[in-house]
């Protein structure tokens, strides 16, 4: 074990670093090295000076600490290849990384004046990067690590003095050069520092393993909306990069308009003004407004939102203000240009296809300002895509709504289900406000509210399907046909009765379906409409609601006059379907809580149906009453749990070696033959019929 001196009575003792956290290694506390770690972390200049005065040899001594636990392992320019955990770095390296240790959010990291003073102190006392374990990597990467965290040309100058290589050709984990990292961070001072010292704007990696450089500094500054860096780069020769393509086939203008892959522009509203200023700078410098993504250059995998191929205006229409939309259109962008989009989500319940316009995209993203600007400029609210869908159809298929998946008879949406689960939340109300503002612009401009697309669906069908209750109510008040059926024979009521299911638990989410204005609007339009209309699969809306355990939809439909004794093709009444309880459980545990919620819903639906006159003596095509179905479901659940408990009681079998030692396990997570799924047949109403 390494010998570490302890503090004597006259030496500096350990103390709290000032932010309620000690990051020195517990086993070393009480030693000068631990005291220095905590002083560096707390950015206490005088304390660092005292410790170094008493122990000058510590200036290049590798440090042990707990600060690495405050930072994800991947939060490094080296990415997954870095296994050091920031351990055994010298004080100068540790001090330069303190902003990372103290602040998890990259955009909020900054080097304080005290932090800079500490780095200067260490340099004066003889700090050298060559003393750091792994010096070859640290001399190449320390400036990259600094530039991704904060903008401090002063700190960079100090680090260069002790061995940091500002001319390194090593690339980070995203194949970015040092200058690209600084540009993407918005570190205008660091970018100027590097350019002033002859660092080339563009260069290739040092080795084949470094990969191909992805784009230019101008691309990265534009992607992040770093307009100050963009202005600097353009003034220093980056005009030649205006039409160059990055690794996904985008020009700098397309990067600014679309956002960077996983960080879409519409998810960063606080950056919109900066992004818009970046777009103006690039357009004024001569960027091509007709450019579109080179899909043939795309990576083999894509991130959310990155699989779209569009022009700058098409991207800007998703999130931009009215001013920036008008600006780009005024510079020559075609507001009527038709584009192709990949089919998203559970198509055809998601958007996609050919002939979509910027207005379709603005409506799809509920960008009311963009919709208004495009309409004022002459965009056609009745323009249709390949499938006959107008912008209003696309508005009813908001991205977070169409990003769902279908598993068996259920469809789930991670983003939208969370909002629907709490229809009084601020996030849900904000989403509704954006939707209503967007739709009102289209309705005022005489969009055809009743137009059916290639699947026979009008906007109100999609609004009902995604539980946009406010939009359903608005369209009903505007006179849409409540009884109109789509190509699958489903009316608005069928789509209202088909719930979205929460991921993992599969619990049906009805959203705000019990909203009083919706009930009033439906009641006002129900005259002459067949509430018991069966779709092509033979199911009425009430069958779907009972089968899916949607008690709110059952109550709504019974209130509108639905027949509680109507049989489906199998002779099952809503009471039979409710008795099945849509019992979806994880067959690996059979824990009662996994299906108790469904049982409570089934009991509520049974109560509603019996109260509305359901006949419990009716038998289905197999001769069973609802009570028979309920007992069969109970028995199946009991038998399944008994089999599972019996399986758990069996002696475990050796499953081979794990980390060099034989492991005894209780066996696989589920009994043989059980792969998960629903126990009761017909436990949902799938889109596939």
For the record, the structure tokens of 187 come out as: 């570190």
| Out of 361-375, 421-435, 504-518, least confident range | 504-518
Bigger pLDDT: 662 vs 27? 27
In terms of Cβ atoms closer than 10 Å to its own Cβ (0-12, 13-18, 19+), residue 436 is: middle
Q: Residue 304 pLDDT > 60, yes or no?
A: no
- Separation of alpha carbons 542 and 476, rounded Å: 20
Structure tokens at 542: 């009430």
CA-closest candidate to residue 129, choices 105, 81, 94, 99 = 94
Q: Please state which of the ranges 58-62, 110-114, 254-258, 305-309 shows the lowest mean pLDDT.
A: 305-309
CA 314 vs CA 22, 370, 371: distances in Å: 51, 11, 12
Percentage of the chain with pLDDT > 70? 78
341 strand-pairing partners:
353
Contact 558, 604 (CB under 8 A): no
32-35 LR contacts (CB < 8 Å, sep 24+): 32/4, 32/5, 32/7, 32/58, 33/4, 33/58, 33/61, 33/63, 33/64, 35/7
pLDDT tens digits, 492-522: 999 999 887 766 666 677 777 888 899 999 9
Average per-residue pLDDT for the chain: 83
DSSP state at residue 212 = -
Q: Is 495 helix (H, G, I), strand (E, B) or coil?
A: helix
Quick one: tokens of 582? Answer: 């849509």
Residue 96 has pLDDT above 70, yes or no: yes
Q: Mean of the pLDDT values across residues 198-215? A: 70
Compute the distance between CA of residue 283 and CA of residue 316 in angstroms, rounded to an integer: 13
- Maximum distance among all Cα pairs of the chain, rounded to whole angstroms: 95
Question: Lowest mean pLDDT: which of 88-102, 233-247, 457-471, 675-689?
Answer: 675-689
| Architecture in CATH of 564-650+672-684 | Alpha Horseshoe (1.25)
pLDDT, position 580: 85
Alpha carbons 546 and 199: distance in angstroms, whole number: 68
Residue 27: the pLDDT is 93
Residue 609 has pLDDT above 80, yes or no: yes
| pLDDT, mean of residues 393-410 | 64
Which of 349-363, 517-531, 578-592 is predicted with the least confidence, judged by mean pLDDT?
Answer: 578-592
Long-range pairs for 376-380: beta carbons < 8 A, 24 or more residues apart = 376/322, 376/326, 377/325, 377/326, 377/329, 377/335, 378/335, 379/335, 379/336, 380/336
| DSSP letter string, 523-537 | HHH-TT--TT---TT
Q: Which two tokens stand for residue 675?
A: 């792969």
Find the DSSP H helices in 312-450.
Answer: 312-319, 322-330, 358-364, 368-376, 391-395, 399-402, 414-420, 426-444
Does residue 420 register a pLDDT over 60? yes
Which pLDDT value is given to residue 684?
36
Per-residue pLDDT for 369 more than 50? yes
Is residue 491 within 8 A of residue 453, CB to CB? The reply is no
Each residue of 142-194: pLDDT tens digit? 999 999 999 999 999 999 999 999 999 888 888 889 999 999 999 999 999 99
- For the chain, the domains span 1-165, 564-650+672-684
Residue 465, both tokens? 């399907």
Q: Please say if the pLDDT value at position 367 is more than 90.
A: yes
Distances from the Cα of 148 to the Cα of 100, 145, 172, angstroms? 10, 6, 10
Q: What is the average per-residue pLDDT within 648-662?
A: 57
Q: What is the pLDDT of residue 350?
A: 81
pLDDT score at 403 = 52
Choose between 351 and 588: higher pLDDT. 351
Q: What is the pTM of this model?
A: 0.82
Cα-Cα-Cα-Cα dihedral sign, residues 465, 468, 471, 473? positive
- DSSP codes of every residue in 260-299: ETTEEGGG-GGGHHHHHHHHHHHHHTT--TT----GGG--
Phi first, then psi: give them for residue 535, nearest 5 degrees. -80, -175
Q: Two tokens at 138?
A: 């640290």
Name the percent of the chain lying above pLDDT 90.
57
Burial of 36 (0-12, 13-18, 19+ CB in 10 A): buried
Q: How many CB atoms lie within 10 A of CB 673?
A: 7
Is the dihedral angle over the CA atoms 411, 413, 416, 418 positive or is it negative? Answer: positive
- Per-residue confidence at 635, pLDDT binned at 50, 70, 90? confident
Same fold? 1-165, 564-650+672-684: yes
Q: Rounded to whole angstroms, what are the CA distances from 204 to 168, 176, 223, 554?
A: 11, 10, 21, 64
- The pLDDT, as a whole number, for residue 175 is 83
pLDDT at 283: 98
pLDDT in tens, 537-558: 999 999 999 998 889 999 999 9
pLDDT tens-digit readout, 331-342:
999 999 999 887
pLDDT of 687: 36
pLDDT reading at 241 higher than 50: yes
| Exposed e or buried b per residue across 355-391, where buried means at least 16 C-beta atoms within 10 angstroms of its C-beta | bbbbbbbbbbbbbbbbbbbbbebebbbebbbebbbbb
User: What is the secondary structure of 557-618 as a DSSP string?
Assistant: HHHTT--TT---TTS--HHHHHHHTT-EE-TTT--THHHHHHHHHHHHHHHHHHHTT--TT-
Mean pLDDT over 411-417 rounds to: 59
686 — phi, psi (to 5°)?
-70, 155
| Distance of alpha carbon 98 from alpha carbon 40, whole angstroms | 8
pLDDT band, very low/low/confident/very high, at 587 (cuts 50, 70, 90): very low
- Provide the CATH number for the domain formed by 1-165 in this structure: 1.25.40
pLDDT of residue 327: 98
**Residue 611 in this model has a pLDDT that exceeds 80:** yes
pLDDT band at 249 (very low <50, low <70, confident <90, very high): confident
Of 41-55, 206-220, 251-265, 587-601, minimum mean pLDDT range: 587-601
Specify the pLDDT at position 155.
98
Residues in Cβ contact with 77 at an 8 Å cutoff, skipping those fewer than 6 apart: 141, 144, 145, 148, 172, 173, 181
Q: What is the mean pLDDT of residues 289-296?
A: 78
Model confidence at 77, in pLDDT bands (50, 70, 90)? low
The mean pLDDT of 71-91, rounded to a whole number, is 65
Give the pLDDT score at 662. 39
Average pLDDT over residues 296-308: 43
* pLDDT at residue 71, rounded to an integer: 73
Dihedral angle over CA of 473, 474, 476, 480, nearest 10: -140
Closest CA to 413 of 334, 323, 509: 509
Q: Could you tell me if 311 and 333 are in contact, meaning their C-beta atoms sit under 8 angstroms apart? A: yes
């Amino acid at each position: 074990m390494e010998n570490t001196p302890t503090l004597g009575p006259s030496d500096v003792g350990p103390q709290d670093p000032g932010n309620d956290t000690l990051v020195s290694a517990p086993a070393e506390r009480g030693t000068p090295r631990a005291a220095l770690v905590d002083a560096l972390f707390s950015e206490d200049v005088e304390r660092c000076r005292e410790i170094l005065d008493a122990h000058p040899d510590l200036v290049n001594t590798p440090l042990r600490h707990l600060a690495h636990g405050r930072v994800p392992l991947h939060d490094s320019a080296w990415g997954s290849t870095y296994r050091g955990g920031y351990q055994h770095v010298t004080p100068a390296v540790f001090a330069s990384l303190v902003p990372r240790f103290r602040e998890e959010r990259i955009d909020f990291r900054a080097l304080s004046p005290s932090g800079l003073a500490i780095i200067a102190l260490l340099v004066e006392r003889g700090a050298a990067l060559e003393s750091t374990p792994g010096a070859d990597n640290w001399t190449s990467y320390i400036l990259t690590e600094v530039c991704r965290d904060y903008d401090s040309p002063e700190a960079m100058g100090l680090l260069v003095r002790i061995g940091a290589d500002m001319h390194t050709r090593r690339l980070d984990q995203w194949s970015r050069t040092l200058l690209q990292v600084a540009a993407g961070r918005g570190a205008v001072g660091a970018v100027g520092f590097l350019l002033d010292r002859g660092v080339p704007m563009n260069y290739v990696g040092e080795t084949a393993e470094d990969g191909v450089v992805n784009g230019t500094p101008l691309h990265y500054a534009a992607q992040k909306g770093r307009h100050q860096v963009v202005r600097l780069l353009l003034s220093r020769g980056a005009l030649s990069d205006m039409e160059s393509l990055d690794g996904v086939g985008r020009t700098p203008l397309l990067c600014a308009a679309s956002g960077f892959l996983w960080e879409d522009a519409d998810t960063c509203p606080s950056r919109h003004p900066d992004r818009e200023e970046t777009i103006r700078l690039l357009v004024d410098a001569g960027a091509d407004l007709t450019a579109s993504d080179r899909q043939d250059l795309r990576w083999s995998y894509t991130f959310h939102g990155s699989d779209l191929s569009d022009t700058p205006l098409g991207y800007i229409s998703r999130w931009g203000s009215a001013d920036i939309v008008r600006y780009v259109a005024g510079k020559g962008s075609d507001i009527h240009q038709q584009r192709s989009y990949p089919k998203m989500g559970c198509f055809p319940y998601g958007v996609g296809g050919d002939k979509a316009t910027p207005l379709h995209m603005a409506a799809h993203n509920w960008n009311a300002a963009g919709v208004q600007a495009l309409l004022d400029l002459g965009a056609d609210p009745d323009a249709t895509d390949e499938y006959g869908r107008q912008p209003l159809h696309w508005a009813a298929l908001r991205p977070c709504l169409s990003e769902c998946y279908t598993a068996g008879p259920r469809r789930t949406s991670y983003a939208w289900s969370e909002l629907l689960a709490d229809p009084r939340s601020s996030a849900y109300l904000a989403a509704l406000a954006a939707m209503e503002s967007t739709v009102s612009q289209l309705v005022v401009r005489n969009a055809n509210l009743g137009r059916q697309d290639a699947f026979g669906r009008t906007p109100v069908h999609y609004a009902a399907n995604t539980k946009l209750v406010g939009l359903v109510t608005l369209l009903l008040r505007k006179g849409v046909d409540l009884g109109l059926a789509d190509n699958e024979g489903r009316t608005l009521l069928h789509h209202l009765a088909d719930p979205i299911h929460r991921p993992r638990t599969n619990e049906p989410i009805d959203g705000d379906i019990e909203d009083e204005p919706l009930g009033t609007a439906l009641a006002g339009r129900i005259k002459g409409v067949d509430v018991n209309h069966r779709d092509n699969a033979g199911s009425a809306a009430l069958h779907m609601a009972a089968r899916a355990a949607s008690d709110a939809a059952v109550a709504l439909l019974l209130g509108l006059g639905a027949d509680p004794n109507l049989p489906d093709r199998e002779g099952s009444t809503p009471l039979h379907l409710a008795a099945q309880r849509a019992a979806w459980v994880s067959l690996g545990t059979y824990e009662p809580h996994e299906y108790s919620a469904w049982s409570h819903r089934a009991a509520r639906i049974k109560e509603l149906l019996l109260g509305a006159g359901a006949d419990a003596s009716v038998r289905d095509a197999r001769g069973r009453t609802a009570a028979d179905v309920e007992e069969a479901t109970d028995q199946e659940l009991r038998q399944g749990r008994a089999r599972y408990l019996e399986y758990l009681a069996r002696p475990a079998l050796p499953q081979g070696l794990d980390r060099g030692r034989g492991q005894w396990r209780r066996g696989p997570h589920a009994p043989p033959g059980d792969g998960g799924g629903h126990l009761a047949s017909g436990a949902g109403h799938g889109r596939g019929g």
